[in-house]
Amino acid sequence: MFQYENQEFLTAEFPVLPSISHFLGAFESTHNNYLEDPFPVSQYHDQIYNHYPTPASLYTFRNTDFHSSKTTKKRRDRGSSFSSSTKVVNVDDFGAKGNGQDDTKAFELAWKEACSSRKATLLVPKGRTYYLKPITFSGPCRSPLTLKINGMIKASTRISDYENDRRHWLKFEGVDNFVVEGNGIINGNGRKWWQNSCKVNKELPCKRAPTAVTFYQCINLVVSNLMFKDAQQMHLTFQKCTNVKALNLRVVAPGNSPNTDGIHITETQNAIIRNCVIGTGDDCISIVSGSRNVRAMDITCGPGHGISIGSLGAENSEAEVSNIRVNRALISGTSNGVRIKTWQLNSQYLTEKSWPHFQTAVDPLNFNPTIPTPPPANLHDLHGGSGYAKNIMFQNVVMKNVSNPIIIDQNYCDKEDSCPEQNSAVKVSNVVYKNIRGTSASDDAIKFDCSKSFPCQEISLLGVHIVGQGNEVATASCENVRLKNRWKVYPQC
């Protein structure tokens, strides 16, 4: 068997999904010794998490259950089943019917009551479907709060309901020490939005659809044991959050649903994504600018676009991403495997041929439609994004029929015609690919398309073996990349 550098760490702390265990267990052993891990396990415990806005260390956070959920796992939906010290706020008691009518007002009233109470649980009972318009659940709350979703929450499909906020459906803002759990479903009801997407109908103008669930500026947050389904656009976004755990989640949407990222991390630090099954029409997990200290482990991904760092540097912006570790993943039938992508050129600057047909430009983070400015006379004078993506590790990954299993794309371009060559870029450095095996659906199993001005640096390939379908020959395409370590790699750069 292939020897990991720390078998105890791999199996003891976080249980491995059965499917991933099966595939990882099939890896062939070629050597009992491994090169020194440039990301020691200890580095991902407490050492790098030392700049908290709260006094608790990450270790304490990771092992803290804010509401003693171990004692409440088998509790039923009625208030009498909860601890006598917990105040249960049932949305039904505030007028929610769960019968197809609009329950937004009842949820607003129930949230206000729960948020202002001590040690409260806001309960969404099982067996009913609650329809909601866009709604913001705002903090701070009086004390730690649990939202227990056992039923289904479903989005309104009336586009007019989103006139005041096309960016969000369910938004949780400024809620600290917050647990969202249950065995229910959050359904974005997104099919109507997909039909009106310019990616589906190219004659339509490009307009953003709402993110199904957004956590904004939350500290000490746990989201667990829920299903997210058919988002209007992204399913679950953590933005400007600190100390996040996303555990045992299932995120599903059709493989052809546009822009339906599974879990999106932006401007967030100290996040753990664990034991999640994600299959959508876009990235299973996307980690973008301003994010650091993010760990994703025991992930099943597919269909979709794989696990992505980026895109970074959109609209010529500065991007910073660091200390990212993906460990134990099964990626199947996706258009990319593990990917780092950075923008080549401002996406609103199009060629003269396509410029008259361009309707709007969109801020990729804030989703605010803006009127684009005409492109400069000489597009070749423009710069790409800037900043860095560094200290990244992808390890213990199985690929099954994946296009572009390993890819760094510093020349990402979102239009049909090629973008002008850039003379600046988001710098990519210290990236490790370790113990990655499987099959490629594309000729190139490894593709490094890096910047001439700022080549990818300190890239390590350790124990990588990816072949074509039916054990066919696979190839590697490596442009402007500086390799630091190579050990037992196929195909070779």
Burial status of residue 472 (CB atoms within 10 A of its CB: 0-12, 13-18, 19 or more): exposed
| Residues sharing a CB contact under 8 Å with residue 383, sequence separation 6 or more, in sequence order | 316, 422, 423, 424
d(CA 55, CA 454): 39
Q: What is the 3-state secondary structure (H, E, C) of 172-213?
A: EECCCCEEEECCCEEECCCHHHHHCCCCCCCCCCCCCCCEEE
CA–chain centroid gap for 20, Å, is 19
Q: Give the separation between CA 265 and CA 310, rounded to whole angstroms.
A: 10
**Is 45 tagged catalytic?**
no
What is d(CA 452, CA 450) in angstroms, rounded to the nearest whole number?
A: 7
Q: What is the DSSP letter of 20?
A: H
Best CA proximity match to 305, nearest among 258, 239, 352: 258
CB 131 within 8 Å of CB 106: no
Give phi and psi for 376, each to the nearest 5. Answer: -60, 160
What 8-state DSSP symbol labels residue 262? S
Per-residue tokens: 251: 């995120």
- Which one of 168, 235, 264, 305 is the catalytic residue? 305
CA distance 325 to 44: 9
Q: What is the DSSP string of 213-261?
A: EEEES-EEEEEES-EEES-SS-SEEEES-EEEEEES-EEE--TTSTT--
- Cβ neighbours of residue 24 under 8 Å, at least 6 residues apart? 16, 328, 396, 398
Active site residues: 305
